[in-house]
Amino acid sequence: MTTIKIKPPEIFNYEECLWFLDRGFDDCLHQINKNTITKALKIQNNLFLVSIRYEGTLLSIQILQGNPSAKEGELIKSYISQWFDLYTDLEKFYKIANKDPVLKPLIKKYWGLRLIGIEDLFEALCWAIIGQQINLSFAYKTKRALVENYGRTIEHNGTSHYLFPTPDTLSNCSVEALKKLQFSRNKAQYLISLAKDFRDGIISKDQLMALDSKENMLTRLTNLKGVGAWTANYAMMKCLKIPTAFPIQDVGLHNALKQQLGLKEKPTLESIQQLAKNWKNWEGYATLYLWRSLV
DNA sequence: CGCCAGGCTTAGG
DNA sequence: CCTAAGCATGGC
């Protein structure tokens, strides 16, 4: 069996990353057993099942199914590294966070937490759309229904491991079929329309990564039906890894700030913009650590 | 007639 | 340009 080792940067806490993957919600796209993460991946159109553990000072990736070539092994390594956002220099974030009264206690408490990404842009946007304006438990429930109905699976030791449905598959769904999975008519239409846009190459991660500014990305993303400022920033944060992506309208962010600052009401957008001046160039990580503070 | 959830679009001022 | 209504359902 193939095993791949990854040496994480100095600022890294596996337990904190694990927390984000296992924070009480029922995510169907990975499984956690004690300290081991199991996840199905598609690399260059081949499916692999991997398990991830932290041993000593290394991330240890075992390939449970699939037989990766040398190149595919490298791609898996790269995928996992990006999934855990290991390439970001958190030292810089901690330096500015240390001067900020809101973030200072959080970076101490949650030291080593990294942004667990959603590497596939289609999946990231679908997930953001699914989660709009509903509670997270219900969002995970409907995501599971979607994935179990339309995603590919890898069977291993009697357990099914799912991949997120492809644009091709979802573009052939009917609104009525998705409504049966408890999506609203609007969301069903957004998801199908998004799937068609990806299928037809109107949008892709590569296209966006080739753009030179966050503003251009935002425009391209918000031109998609169902994608507003919050969804676009969420996707830029979780998938495109833009450090300045900032879902400032996020309810969770508002609640976290209210709690951290001891406010009676949720902060206004203007007051958040004021606070965020201290977070310049690290708005995404500031948001992540504030989300983390919500118990 | 309960209000808020990791919002967005469209219609109407 | 700005505001309001509608969307669907679950949890508290």
**CATH 1.10.150.20 fits domain A89-115+242-295:** no
Q: Does the pLDDT of residue A133 top 80, yes or no?
A: yes
pLDDT at site A56 = 87
Position A173: which residue type?
A: C
Considering only CA atoms, which residue is closest to the C1' of nucleotide C10?
Answer: A138
**pLDDT tens string A157-195:** 999 999 999 999 999 999 999 999 999 999 999 999 999
- Same topology, domains A3-87 and A121-238? Answer is no
Tokens representing A12 are: 């890294």
Q: What band does A60 get if pLDDT is binned at 50, 70 and 90?
A: very high
Q: Does the pLDDT of residue A218 top 90, yes or no?
A: yes
- Classify A121-238 by CATH class: mainly alpha
Task: Compute the average pLDDT of residues A63-70.
Answer: 96
Q: Is A250 a catalytic residue?
A: yes
Does the CB of A270 sit below 7 A from strand C? no
Domain ranges in chain A?
A: 3-87, 89-115+242-295, 121-238
A3-87 CATH fold: TATA-Binding Protein (3.30.310)
Position A191: which residue type?
A: L
Q: Does the pLDDT of residue A24 top 90, yes or no?
A: no
Instruction: Show which positions of strand C are touched by protein (CB under 7 A).
Output: 6-11
The spacing between the Cα labelled CA in A134 and the C1' in C10, in angstroms, equals 8
A30-36: Cβ within 8 A, 24+ apart: A31/A159, A31/A161
Instruction: Show which positions of strand B are touched by protein (CB under 7 A).
Output: 4-10
Name the burial class of residue A153, with classes exposed (0-12), middle (13-18) and buried (19+) by CB atoms within 10 angstroms of its CB.
middle
| Cβ–Cβ < 8 Å for A137, A124 | no
Residue A138 parent element (H or E):
helix A136-150
pLDDT at site A147 = 97
